[in-house]
A and B are shown apart, each in its own frame.
Chain A
Amino acid sequence: MKKIFAISYYTVKENIRNKIFYVLIFFVLLIFLATLLFSVLGGEQELRLLLDFGLAAIELFALLLTIFASVTLVLEEIENKTIYLLLTRPLSRVEYLVGRYFGILFAVYLSIATMSIGHISLLLLKKWSFELSYFFVIFSLGFKVMLISGIAVFFSLFSTSAISSISFTFFFWLLGHFTEELKFLGSKLNIFWQYPAKFFFYLIPNFQYFNFRDRIQLGFPLLLKEANMNFISLAILYALVYSTVCLFLTNLFLSRKEF
């Protein structure tokens, strides 16, 4: 456990100094520009635009950070040969993988928290009345990040090039948001194809379970059917189990990988 923590801790540190720092600067610039733009274009819905734009930007930056950090997690380490000095110590490959995975998650969470603070401050300056549902949205984003990071790590070991891993992960991100539409399409298929379609639908990660940013009505009380503890705890469990499956499969590849 101590070793996992050590790897996670230094992964966070490295990522902050390397990638996150630039992401945050870019986010601040973007949000600043958006504020100028929306105060002119948004009319009476300026706050809604700022709120949505900020949340979407936080998610996109978190997504990019997660995908790049997760895909390069092992690939970059093999390429740079930094992995040699880790695996030639009393450290199992599972410990290494889990440590790195948690490190990336913490690093991304930290950047999400920083971006959110910046975003909230801006909204408050614009006389936004604070809503708890904002935290709900950010909280659910955390589970999206957890899922996509697991998928990205898996693809990075499954396919050997960074480009293909990034493409696969990105494709899953889109697919995961499109599942509900796919389900509808699937129901139009003939009976023979319906079962494979259903299996596929259940298998791919469903990001809509965590997409409260798009589905919650900010400014109004939580009206969604799924905004209850029963659903939320199931969704959290789903994200945990799905990520575990990804890490388990990744470890199968990693344990057989030669450096």
Chain B
Amino acid sequence: MDIIRTENLTKIYRKRHLGKLKETLGVRNLNLEIREGEIFSLLGLNGSGKTTTIKLLLGLLFPTQGRVYIREKLMPNKEIVRLVGYLPELPYFYKYLTIDELLNLYGCLSEITSQEISQRIRQVLKIVALEKERNKRIAELSRGMLQRVGIAQALLHSPEIVIFDEPVSGLDPVGIREMRELLLKLKKEGKTIFFSSHIISEVEKISDRAGILDQGELVCIVEQKDWFAREGGLEEIFLETIKSAPTVFALEPAQA
């Protein structure tokens, strides 16, 4: 069963500058179907529309055209949003709050009951190994710790769907490995994972399927068996797909 579905999802950014309307394509005619319990990754170069897709799924952006359904409910839907845990590319938090206060706030907003909340905070802090730092202010944390707080807040309300935007970018090898293990653990728990990345080696290690985005369009969806069957793996498929896509690195014709 598809847990997330998009129908002709299109986003065109419109900006008016000095009276002139400037249009930039975010994504075009995106038709995605994410199955329950799978790890689906969205691959693409920088600016290919990965973050736009995620923001459209979460209702941070409004589609110019098309629709998003989660559990067959049209988004944005307050009831459905609670099923989703989201980790942005760079987690930004309130600098002057402590980890504990921050998670308390997010817990409350995620409608976790006050009896449950402290127990859940303890659980997620254990997962991300930040139990000792819970009374530290966000401003005092390192980049790696912030990423962990980000994970903690995404998992706080035990979401069915986990959406991570570039979860491994900027992490050291140990961090990347921990993230990989976490995603696999979450899959084992039956959660659906949707994440974007441009680090192909990581994507092929854990994903069940991968969608390749190029210049705002979903070029193809590759299954795990496809990249296992092929020499060079997913990287080869990705590069081939991108090469075949028109206008990538295309130079303007030289003037005669």
By beta carbon, the residue of chain B nearest A81 is: B92
Identify which of B84, B88, B90, B109 gathers the most chain A CB atoms within 10 Å of its CB: B109
6 contacts between A and B (CB under 8 A): A2-B108, A7-B105, A18-B96, A81-B92, A85-B93, A87-B59
Tell me, yes or no, whether A258 is within 8 Å of chain B by CB.
Answer: yes
Tell me whether A3 and B97 are in contact (CB under 8 A): no
Question: When A80-B92, A82-B92, A85-B91 are in contact, do A13 and B101 touch as well, CB less than 8 Å?
Answer: yes
Tell me whether B94 and A88 are in contact (CB under 8 A): no
Question: When A82-B92, A82-B93, A84-B86 are in contact, do A259 and B55 touch as well, CB less than 8 Å?
Answer: yes
Question: When A84-B60, A88-B58 are in contact, do A6 and B109 touch as well, CB less than 8 Å?
Answer: yes
> Is chain B's binding surface mostly helix, strand, loop or mixed?
loop
Tell me, yes or no, whether A225 is within 8 Å of chain B by CB.
Answer: no
Question: When A87-B59, A87-B60, A90-B111 are in contact, do A81 and B106 touch as well, CB less than 8 Å?
Answer: no
Tell me, yes or no, whether B48 is within 8 Å of chain A by CB.
Answer: no
Tell me whether B61 and A10 are in contact (CB under 8 A): no
Q: How many residues of A contact B (CB 8 A)?
A: 24
Tell me whether B109 and A89 are in contact (CB under 8 A): yes
Tell me whether B81 and A90 are in contact (CB under 8 A): yes
Kindly list chain A residues whose C-beta atoms are within 8 Å of the C-beta of B109. Answer: 3, 6-7, 86, 89-91
Bound CA–CA A194/B157 (angstroms): 60
What 1/0 flags go to A95-108 for Cβ under 8 Å of B? 00000000000000
Tell me, yes or no, whether A180 is within 8 Å of chain B by CB.
Answer: no
Of the four ranges (under 10, 10 to 19, 20 to 34, 35 or more), the interface on chain B belongs to 20 to 34
A→B interface (CB under 8 Å): 2-3, 6-7, 10, 13-14, 17-18, 80-82, 84-92, 256, 258-259
Tell me whether A85 and B88 are in contact (CB under 8 A): yes
CB contact between A89 and one of B55, B101, B104, B110 (< 8 Å): that residue? B110
> Is chain A's binding surface mostly helix, strand, loop or mixed?
helix
CB contact between A17 and one of B78, B81, B82, B96 (< 8 Å): that residue? B96
Tell me, yes or no, whether B153 is within 8 Å of chain A by CB.
Answer: yes
Tell me, yes or no, whether B79 is within 8 Å of chain A by CB.
Answer: yes
Bound CA–CA A166/B128 (angstroms): 41
Tell me whether A81 and B82 are in contact (CB under 8 A): no
Bound CA–CA A91/B157 (angstroms): 14
Bound CA–CA A17/B108 (angstroms): 21
Tell me whether B86 and A14 are in contact (CB under 8 A): no
CB contact between A82 and one of B62, B94, B108, B110 (< 8 Å): that residue? B94
A167 to chain B, nearest CB (A): 21
By beta carbon, the residue of chain B nearest A10 is: B105
CB contact between A3 and one of B79, B86, B95, B108 (< 8 Å): that residue? B108
Kindly list chain A residues whose C-beta atoms are within 8 Å of the C-beta of B59. Answer: 87-88
Bound CA–CA A3/B81 (angstroms): 15
CB contact between A88 and one of B60, B95, B97, B101 (< 8 Å): that residue? B60
By beta carbon, the residue of chain A nearest B154 is: A85
Kindly list chain B residues whose C-beta atoms are within 8 Å of the C-beta of A86. Answer: 109
Bound CA–CA A3/B96 (angstroms): 20
Tell me whether B111 and A85 are in contact (CB under 8 A): no
Tell me whether A14 and B94 are in contact (CB under 8 A): yes
Tell me whether A85 and B97 are in contact (CB under 8 A): no
A29 to chain B, nearest CB (A): 22
Can you add 12 more A-B contacts, CB < 8 Å, to A88-B58, A88-B60, A92-B78?
Answer: A3-B108, A6-B109, A7-B105, A7-B109, A81-B90, A84-B86, A88-B81, A88-B84, A89-B109, A89-B157, A256-B62, A258-B62
